[in-house]
Structure 1
């Protein structure tokens, strides 16, 4: 799996470099849970790929999340992605490997000015993973976004509602999520991100985590990130390690 990730990273890097100065700067959505209200540059197809290792409470899940982003205009865009590969181990030692679920999202951006924007996302999770990896049911999400620059600090705050296709006995199908991330430039090419996020659902234990990440942008066409997240409840993985990148693939005129 590590070889697959290395190949994907190399391929994406080559593709990004090949576009030279024809493209605008990328708009990273990873690695935080929160997404920005802003869309990528209009007509620029962007690709995000990474590796996530989450473990704790006797369980482990390794995955390779990928995401394609394309804005049709300054107001509308679409996101398509999911886990290209998942390897999981339950507390009882049961293992599963394969394709993860697929997510498709329609996004509407409301840009107020250069420092402030609102956003709406309407997403559906398609159950492309086998039941031992995913829930086997489709989920539907509405996400509201507020992005704002406070001096040099960029904030993305998300509040969302997910209608789950599958739920435990006695638990609600409605899951509420909140997250807020804060990013700040550290130097010309480096930036740091801190985030607090979580979910709650009637009849189920809440999840919560704190995330810390660093991002390196050697050019406007490439951003590489890495970081760690720590779970704050027993329903959240104790530790998660991640790394990934964002590059443009092509420009539709």
Structure 2
């Protein structure tokens, strides 16, 4: 598994979000509290953020553990943003993809992360890959299940789906092809957040007064306002609103939400 976090709200230094809290994302890279599979998130990390008046986010990604990257610590201290998405990647099998396999994945205004795994990868994913145009398969960011999930989400976004629809339909499709997969997805365009809880923990912290929204794999502090998202649920949020929609697995080729 992995750990990830998305933020919308007042301008904040990335370090205030990712490294300073008592149980920050950096801390979760070696001591997650609610991770259901895996224990150390040391095979890469990344953060994406939006600059003022620029809809295309910047990213910083690396293949190693986040705690050993002094450049990240420096960036996190001085880079400020109103919207960001960050992730730390679980220890995985050896591979040649390096930082290309580290979230967030990106295209245009979108940032994406997958916390989980497609069961029986890559065999169960073959029908999913066949449903994508060849050119989109050739553009996969890496040879990982997360990169394929991102391609499926991106295909829907480019076809006009909104954030929540793109995630929900992708989760149902992947879960139908590979039952037992863990599919906690996180997506933002800098103005809204969509996420799914499917096989691992997901929480959100809403503060309407300051127009701050955080969606994360687990709480990073002891704020009593953190709320857990039920399993098999789609979350969609802006700075001031949260909506939870139950998701239901369906046979291959069908789409359904409870």
Question: Normalised by the size of structure 2, how large is the TM-score?
Answer: 0.25
- Radius of gyration: which is bigger? 1
Higher-strand-fraction structure: 1
Higher-helix-fraction structure: 2
Question: Normalised by the size of structure 1, how large is the TM-score?
Answer: 0.25
